Structure 1
């Protein structure tokens, strides 16, 4: 079996990585941090497009949804086209990341992206995040870090929770749309250890005519000692959610008055999901380097009911269910050595990562009102990913250093058909591997615009394809012949950048980047098939700024432009635009908290118009949106907050698509035909929403 062949390698490499250290001390090469208000550059970076965001920067950001914490990554935009229990839609660097296909996220060492997922490859549901517990978010963009593997083409983020709280508290929040949330959290120190616990229960109906009825339960227990660099942590998490969704709907139906702006195309979409996990982290830093070990196991499930095309197939509607039940387990181990002056103070790091998804059942079913009427396909999948990486950071002179990395990934997958009239000939075993070199050159710091460093990076990366697409022979929808797709999609990227401190407290990053993606192949969970899109090229410019004018005030401003095109024209319409790739985004945020009575923050974000189909003729409508958080401390143990989301009640769309769909009236009139009616599909921004919170400390 696949896991039997991988496990001995995993154990042997882990033991090697955790071998005896040669001396004691702290590594000299640090991670970049953008939190300092000092005049000097903070930390040592490998590229101009990486950074660390702390809890202090997150504390006063107005958030509509938990996953919006990823908007701390400059240029990242987070939206939603369905219910709040479903993974968000993400955009970065000219990628419509869908639900996570080209951006890798880890939470306390556990991968958030799901391989061979019922709804879409790389599905990244972050609704289980509790923003108040986040200690830091470390991000990188591009394919230049040897530590980053599957899905890390546009970039990657690592989110860690705090190990202790300064004060236990209870948060109660109420808002429009029957929004309610209760969060209780606290920590206790004993025998040199900290025990942290948190429980969140929340519900929301939203502004939708079809009430969302979101019910969410979220819990965390964390036992830890020491720090992330010297200590251990054992974390248990529990998350469950149920909801009813209002999917995107045809814009023409709103314009004609058939469906209200916040109405539903079809009834009773939505779903239920759960995520139970246990993870452990251990780290030791000594004179000659550091050792780290992380292990995890996750039990995950999703039943998602959707009818994105409405009523093309008839008056009963086009609803289907996507079901996913799996256990995934794995871990990572790394060992770094500081080689000393004889080796130019090189820091050498060797790491191993292993992940196995044991997917007991992943299926697509036709349904009516959440009742199954036909099995389109049902499969069992065993997929194992093994990654080895090595990198060396060398300080050649006081103005020049390098980062050289090499990564090798091996993926093995076996799919077994369990159901579906046209699916039983599908399945089999596939494997793929890739070796990815990485190179980074850093020049500086020079006394130019304060202190300035220049960067040049190049590397290769990849994202995996759905194992069912790699083993397909028959289209499960209609029995036609299907062509298997590669299990690995290769990416190649390059970047030039600089970061500088023009004035005390002002940290500025500027970079130009380029990426080639071997294929935009996407597994379409709504149909159970792989949709070919062809190879693509992207390039762009990014400018991000972080300013601390005085203690307690933080200003951040980001601007990103990109161009995404297919290498070959679309065979149907001759176009080369990559649909839903946002070419221009911008954000501006200000937070203030000097420890006095008043605190808060305001954020503006801009999404430019993007092509909805390959010719670029049909475009989305650009929009600017603002949100506000204001808080008042009565005393140390009592504070109130007010969040005003979509402050100016901007009437715009969270997401727009171009596709075929039919409303109930169009089906009844016979206008649908066999393929539906092509047009603009939208999911509106939520209107101005007020949420009042009260925190009681203990």
Structure 2
């Protein structure tokens, strides 16, 4: 931490001097919200992918899963290959983001990505969110925002809850496969403060032959005063969930009739998780500038049981448990002010993960039969950044950013026959410059801007991979890997309003990653997959023919390749989706009827490096309709997978064995093939909301 301690006083001195210098200066450039894809409200946006989605836009969006809220970001895909109590699988800009390794999300200032997690680096479980309480989601794409640090190679999202609700309400939802949900929420004034609270209870069995038995319990209480820009809030959250899971299975097991389309290889996969948090935020603004401070503490736990390879190791199956128990605490401070003609923002971010237990265990029906590895670790991350924006001329604006990240960690092995020498201390840092140039072309409309962006980014790797000298499963030698996986991104973008009501944005982007290092929780090791390059095009459109009707249409194409062929098998990056498209229609006139229709397309993607085997492309449609019976009573229906498409939510290529293959001796060391997790069939959910 020596380098960080040296820099912190310098930052404090800079902020103090800047505060005095800016006291008599002109106020800084205002922060202008960029709603959806509407480039007509570009304000001081620094990239074509900057956007904010409002609660109004979310209200007409049909959702199968909570994390699909992130699909409001053009090009983002959210799927699932296991039970709904587990973090989702995310895809963006040619990246298989796994469970969040290259996309950073925060909720009311608290990080959602979990570092050095038992299942996967950057694990981002958003099942604790209550969509009805979200005030807005702010998105960035790429590595160009100095405020974004770890896990933000493809971008970031910041989710904010409301401080007050229009009226208290109770929402009851019932649907197929024993889906049920009750949400009660309300707000009011208490001794001069605003108090908002909500409780949620939900359950679902899903279409699976093995009922999911999902049970979710959720609650939030928020005390606040003032606004998000000039006020404070204290928020307590509690979330618990337990479930059984139907993992991805070999497609040949379904085709051969050994299991049904919604069948499972293991009858006891699933898990339980919890997340309890307390956070506080304060913000203030005056003529000199704006300040923001936040702090948080999170108690997190997961026990996850899975047998994705089936029965390779024997008739008892290959089930394992991944366990994680930790306390996360941290905070951030940011100061924005004007120095002459320059708007300056400087900040510091601190996070520490105190992991009591992170482990991988062999299990049979959720009972531990052996320990592969078990560790205790402490990981501390500090980020310092400064960003300067200047309007040079009416047609040229620039933003220059500089960020420094430092990570220090210690790992203490506490279990595993081949793991006891894999401990130690490790540390590394990275300096990341950022640059954005924004031009208003001569003679162009006032709401047309061109963007040129460039910057460095990174995602950290699991600290156990940086300290391990042997593979914990068999004791074979292992190379210690770098703690930082550096990336470089560049982008050319355009936002314009060619016709009244039509806003469009176009981005051409490129990114190179020095190494695609992924922690494989199923094996307890970090896997090096080589350097990669990606480039692509994104086109987003928003059309509002009237105040009641909004249409959005997005198209994203990407090209992802390793720089060198992997083990002679080819250079394609597996599960990098090359083409996605979406089309949405929302209708909200403020009268009795409202609703939304969404179509999403997933193009075929390579399942392995040679691109010999590809996924099957498909369209998916979801529908939401609502009717206000009275001003306080509302009826709604969601029809998910409207046309009952028989496609797969996710496909992989890998080795696995079914119970039958193990019994007849044809398994060997595993049979390579297509592993699938099917889309849920057409599902209807009916809801009734009463406001008071």
Q: How many Å apart are 1:451 and its aligned residue?
A: 2.9
Counterpart in the other structure of 1:664: 659
Normalised to the residue count of structure 2, the TM-score between the two structures is 0.97
Alpha-carbon separation, structure 2, partners of 1:531 and 1:331: 31
Superposition deviation, residue 448 in structure 1:
3.4
- Structure 1 position 423 matched with structure 2 position 419: yes
Q: Report how far residue 8 of structure 1 moved.
A: 10
Deviation, structure 1 residue 192: 3.8
Contact 1:34–1:546 (CA under 8 A) maintained in structure 2: no
Deviation at 1:546, TM superposition (A): 1.6
The 5 Å alignment of 1:493-572 reads 493-572=489-568
Corresponding position: 1:291 with 2:291: yes
Residue 412 of structure 1, aligned match among 408, 411, 414: 408
Given that 2:27 and 2:287 are in contact with CA atoms closer than 8 Å, whether structure 1 keeps it comes out as: yes
Q: TM-score, normalised by structure 1?
A: 0.96
The equivalent of 1:27 in structure 2 is 28
Question: 1:25–1:289: 8 Å Cα contact kept in structure 2?
Answer: no
CA distance in 2, matches of 1:169, 1:400: 48
Match of 2:673 in 1: 679
2:253 corresponding residue in structure 1: 253
**Cα distance change of structure 1 residues 655 and 279 upon mapping to structure 2, 3 Å threshold:** same
Deviation of the 1:552 alpha carbon: 2.4
577 and 36 in structure 1: CA distance in 2 versus 1, 3 angstrom threshold: closer
Partner residue in 2 for 1:472? 468
Q: In the alignment, is the contact (CA less than 8 A) between 2:4 and 2:406 conserved in 1?
A: no
Name the stretch that deviates more: 656-665 or 288-297: 288-297
Residue of structure 2 equivalent to 1:580:
575
Any conservation in 1 of the 2:645–2:681 contact (CA below 8 Å)? yes
Q: Is the 8 A contact 2:37 2:51 kept in 1?
A: no
2:449 maps to 1:448? no
**Residue in structure 1 matched with residue 197 of structure 2 by the alignment:** 197
CA–CA distance in structure 2, aligned partners of residues 369 and 6 of structure 1 = 47
Cα 1:267–1:36 shift into 2, 3 Å: closer
Change (3 A) 1:261 1:10: farther
For 2:581 and 2:244, the matched residues in 1 are separated by 32
Seen in structure 2, the aligned counterparts of structure 1 residues 688 and 36 have a Cα distance that, compared at 3 Å, is closer
Distance change in 2, residues 1:169/1:211 (3 Å): same
Q: Superposition pairs for residues 103-502 of structure 1, below 5 Å?
A: 103-339=103-339, 343-344=340-341, 346-444=342-440, 447-448=443-444, 451-502=447-498
Partner Cα distance (2:6, 2:240) in 1 = 35
Please state how far the C-alpha of 1:109 moved relative to its aligned partner.
0.5
The counterpart of 2:603, out of the listed 603, 608, 619, is: 608
- Superposition deviation, residue 271 in structure 1: 0.1
Q: SS in structure 2 opposite 1:326?
A: strand
Question: C-alpha separation between the residues in 2 aligned to 1:194 and 1:265?
Answer: 50
CA offset at residue 267 of structure 1? 1.1
Distance in 2 separating the partners of 1:175 and 1:109:
34
Q: How far apart in 2 are the matches of 1:242 and 1:478? A: 32
Report the Cα offset of residue 557 of structure 1. 0.9
Query: Is residue 623 of structure 2 the alignment partner of residue 628 of structure 1?
Result: yes
Residue 594 of structure 1 aligns to a residue whose secondary structure is coil
8 Å contact from structure 1 (residues 507, 546) kept in 2: yes
SS for the counterpart of 1:451 is: coil
Q: CA deviation at 1:587?
A: 0.5
Kindly state the Cα deviation for residue 24 of structure 1 after the two structures are TM-superposed: 9.2
Q: Do the aligned residues in 2 keep the contact of 1:133 with 1:161 (CA within 8 Å)? A: yes
Q: 1:549-588 CA deviation, whole Å, 9 max, x = no partner?
A: 2112221111000000000011242x00000000000011
Output the CA distance in 1 between the equivalents of 2:267 and 2:9.
Answer: 50
CA distance in 1, matches of 2:245, 2:182: 22
| Structure 2 segments unaligned to the other structure (5+ residues) | none
Question: Aligned in 2, Cα 1:528/1:46: closer, same or farther, shift over 3 Å?
Answer: same
Tell whether the 8 Å contact from 1:564 to 1:578 is kept in structure 2 after alignment.
Answer: yes
Q: How many residues align?
A: 689
Query: Does 2:592 correspond to 1:618?
Result: no
State the match for 1:98 in structure 2.
98
Q: Secondary structure at the match of 2:448?
A: strand
Tell me if the contact between 2:440 and 2:446 (Cα under 8 Å) persists in the aligned partners: no
Separation in 2, partners of 1:15, 1:631: 55
